[in-house]
């Protein structure tokens, strides 16, 4: 780990009671701007006389713009005060949404959508800000709260976007999103606490720093891989499910896509719980559970092509599992990367979110192609393949990690080695001296050996200890 992990957190003002909820609201509105085009894609295709694949290009351009905004603008969160930066970006987003609403054809709409994606990068900026406004032991909960706001925006934007598009046409959701963005910009201008920049580097250095961090921080690379693959599968499903529900199998309207998203509102309750689990157990166990959840979601979703009540039931259960797995994994990944350095959090988040949304953009494109060529089973197979890649990497990492910190017990039976590890890790941590916290020893042992089993140990990473 590089030397910046040893620096102290940059001092930020104490958070007012409404600061984190306000940031969660801003995240919800901003994230909703990226996701409501998924729900109105069929209405857009009908209104502009486009094929479903061409209409899906609007979704892809929005996500590509978002990835570009994360890379180009989020590093400014370490260089500029947060309040004017967030307000400016939301105001520009509102204007871009108005331009999209007035677009006469696909090309102007795609360009306006790219601009909206570029400027609506509030959530990646709010995350590092919130991490500095709360104590370290509360960062998982704060991250979960912001993510709950993002999930609410993601789901409600699909729900109301689809309903508005059905009733008033595809332009109405863009107008509504513009009004919400400009309103939240005004709220942030009045209520967000003042902050001081954490860095003074030039903009060019800020842009190159995420690339350097990706090169030097293996934990960052790992988190990026996890989120990019899972988010690609997530985007593939939600881009294709609109085509499935409005196609010949179900014959529903765009409103049905929004209602399906509304059912998944339960995920808003899961992310704070996931944040508490990350605070208590560390990111890796949460990631593992999330991967298995997403893999199970791919299997359940495969029955969605049956149509009728069984198919709808599979779609509801599968998308719920998929959303919980993706969002909870995101909490774990962000807690892992925020621990790498306080003064570079925005640049860490830049690398992380750029990779995530590049994966999401490719997932949307691949999902549309798979649906056109292979139908709904092809989309589910894509999700399973992407999740398997991430899960395989995670299992290899855990195996290597266990090998690096395992008991050096010679030819001792494996079950004894495992039992010793469990006994030591769950030992009486309350009796440890402060300097022994995070060591793989009990209160009566030295850092080099354990008297209880006469076996040598190596230091254990603090995140491996289950807090009481």
Cα separation values, 320 from 45, 160, 187, 327, 385, Å: 27, 18, 32, 11, 19
The structural domain count of the chain equals 2
Across the range 107-121, mean pLDDT stands at 92
Q: How confident is the model at residue 129, as a pLDDT? A: 78
Please give the sequence-ordered ranges of beta strands (E in DSSP) within 65-224, or none if there are none: none
336 and 194 in a single domain? The answer is yes
Quick: pLDDT tens for 126-170: 877 776 676 666 666 777 778 778 878 887 888 888 888 888 889
* 366 CB neighbour count, 10 Å cutoff: 20
| High-pLDDT (> 70) share of the chain, % | 78
Q: What is the mean pLDDT of residues 311-324?
A: 91
Residue 239 lies in a domain: yes
Q: Is the pLDDT of residue 291 over 50?
A: yes
332 and 440 fall within a common domain: no
More confident residue, 222 or 270: 222
List, in sequence order, the alpha helices (H) in 192-307: 203-216, 218-246, 254-263, 267-281, 283-301
Q: For residue 251, is it within any domain?
A: yes
Question: Which range, of 10-19, 394-403, 428-437, averages the lowest pLDDT?
Answer: 428-437
- What is the pTM (predicted TM-score) of this model? 0.66
**Mean pLDDT over each residue of the chain, to the nearest integer:** 78
Most confident listed range (2-6, 181-185, 303-307, 460-464): 181-185
Asked whether the predicted pLDDT for residue 425 surpasses 80, the reply is no
* In contact, 161 and 173? CB cutoff 8 Å: yes
pLDDT band at 402 (very low <50, low <70, confident <90, very high): low
> Tell me, what's the pLDDT at 450?
42
Q: Where are the beta strands (DSSP E) in 203-353?
A: none
Say yes or no: 224 and 80 in one domain: yes
- Could you tell me if residue 1 is inside a domain? no
* pLDDT greater at residue 387 or residue 70: 387
Q: What is the pLDDT of residue 440?
A: 39
Q: 417 with 350, same domain?
A: no
pLDDT tens string 56-89? 788 888 988 988 888 888 888 778 888 889 999 9
Domain that holds residue 343: 9-402
188 and 309 assigned to the same domain: yes
Quick one: 125 and 159 in the same domain? yes
For 5-23, what is the mean pLDDT?
58
Would you say residue 299 has pLDDT above 80? yes
Give which of 273, 292, 62 is closest to 148, Cα–Cα: 273
452 shares a domain with 352: no
- How confident is the model at residue 75, as a pLDDT? 80
Based on the fold, state whether residues 217 and 339 are members of the same structural domain. Answer: yes
Cα separation of 120 and 459, whole Å? Answer: 43
Residues 52 and 133 both lie in one domain: yes
Query: Are residue 271 and residue 364 in the same domain, yes or no?
Result: yes
Q: Residue 427 gets which letter from DSSP?
A: S
Model confidence at 50: pLDDT above 70: yes
Domain end marker among 402, 423, 446: 402
**What residues form DSSP beta bridges with 449?**
446, 456
- What is the greatest pairwise CA distance in the chain? 77
Q: Is 190 domain-assigned? A: yes
Identify which has the larger pLDDT, 464 or 299.
299
Do residues 398 and 415 both lie within one domain?
A: no
Cα torsion through 27, 33, 35, 38, rounded to 10: 170
Per the DSSP assignment, residues forming a β-bridge with 455 are 450
Spatial distance between the Cα atoms of 24 and 226, rounded to a whole number of angstroms: 24
The yes-or-no verdict on residue 176 having pLDDT over 80 is yes
Boundary residue ending a domain (350, 368, 402): 402
Alpha carbon distance 151, 267 (integer Å): 7
In a domain, 3, yes or no: no
At 254, the pLDDT band (50, 70, 90 cuts) reads: low
Q: Work out the number of other CB atoms within 10 angstroms of the CB of residue 415.
A: 8
Indicate if 193 and 71 belong to the same structural domain. yes
């Amino acid at each position: 780990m590089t030397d910046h992990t040893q620096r102290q957190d940059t001092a930020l003002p104490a958070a007012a009671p409404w600061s984190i909820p306000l940031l969660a609201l801003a995240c919800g509105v901003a994230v909703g701007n990226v996701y409501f085009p998924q729900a109105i894609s069929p209405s857009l295709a009908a209104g502009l006389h486009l094929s479903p694949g061409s209409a899906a290009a609007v979704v892809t351009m929005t996500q590509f713009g978002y990835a570009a905004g994360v890379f180009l603008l989020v590093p400014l969160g370490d260089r500029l005060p947060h309040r004017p930066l967030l307000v400016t970006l939301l105001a520009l987003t509102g204007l871009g949404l108005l331009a999209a609403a007035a677009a006469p054809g696909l090309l102007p709409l795609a360009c306006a959508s790219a601009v909206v994606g570029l400027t609506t990068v509030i959530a990646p900026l709010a995350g590092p800000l919130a991490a500095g406004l709360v104590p370290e032991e509360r960062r998982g909960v704060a991250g979960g709260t912001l993510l709950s706001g993002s999930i609410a925006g993601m789901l409600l934007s699909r729900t109301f976007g689809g309903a508005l598009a059905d009733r008033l046409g595809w332009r109405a959701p863009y107008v509504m999103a513009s009004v919400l963005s400009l309103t939240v910009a005004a709220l942030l201008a009045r209520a967000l606490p003042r902050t001081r920049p954490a860095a003074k580097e030039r903009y060019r250095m800020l842009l190159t720093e995420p690339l350097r961090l990706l090169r030097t921080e293996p934990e960052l690379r790992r988190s990026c891989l996890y989120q990019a693959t899972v988010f690609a599968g997530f985007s593939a499903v939600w881009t294709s499910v609109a085509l499935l529900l409005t196609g010949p199998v179900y014959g529903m309207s765009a409103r049905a896509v929004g209602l399906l998203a509304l059912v998944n509102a339960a995920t808003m309750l899961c992310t704070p719980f996931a944040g508490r689990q990350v605070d208590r157990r560390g990111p890796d166990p949460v990631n593992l559970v999330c991967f298995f959840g997403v893999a199970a979601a791919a299997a359940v979703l495969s029955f969605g092509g049956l149509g009728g009540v069984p198919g709808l039931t599979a779609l509801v259960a599968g998308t719920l599992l998929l959303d919980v797995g993706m969002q909870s994994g995101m909490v774990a990944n962000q807690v892992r990367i925020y621990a790498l350095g306080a003064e570079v959090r925005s640049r860490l988040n830049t690398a992380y979110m750029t990779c995530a949304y590049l994966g999401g953009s490719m997932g949307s494109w691949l999902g549309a192609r798979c649906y056109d060529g292979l139908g709904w089973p092809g989309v589910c197979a894509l999700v399973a393949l992407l999740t398997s890649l991430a899960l395989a990497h995670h299992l290899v990492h855990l195996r290597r990690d266990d090998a690096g910190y395992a008991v050096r017990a010679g030819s001792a039976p494996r079950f004894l080695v495992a039992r010793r590890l469990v006994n030591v890790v769950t030992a009486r941590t309350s009796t440890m001296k402060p300097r022994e916290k995070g060591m793989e020893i009990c209160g009566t042992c030295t850092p080099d050996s354990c008297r209880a089993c006469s076996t040598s140990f190596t230091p254990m990473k603090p995140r491996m200890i289950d807090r009481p």
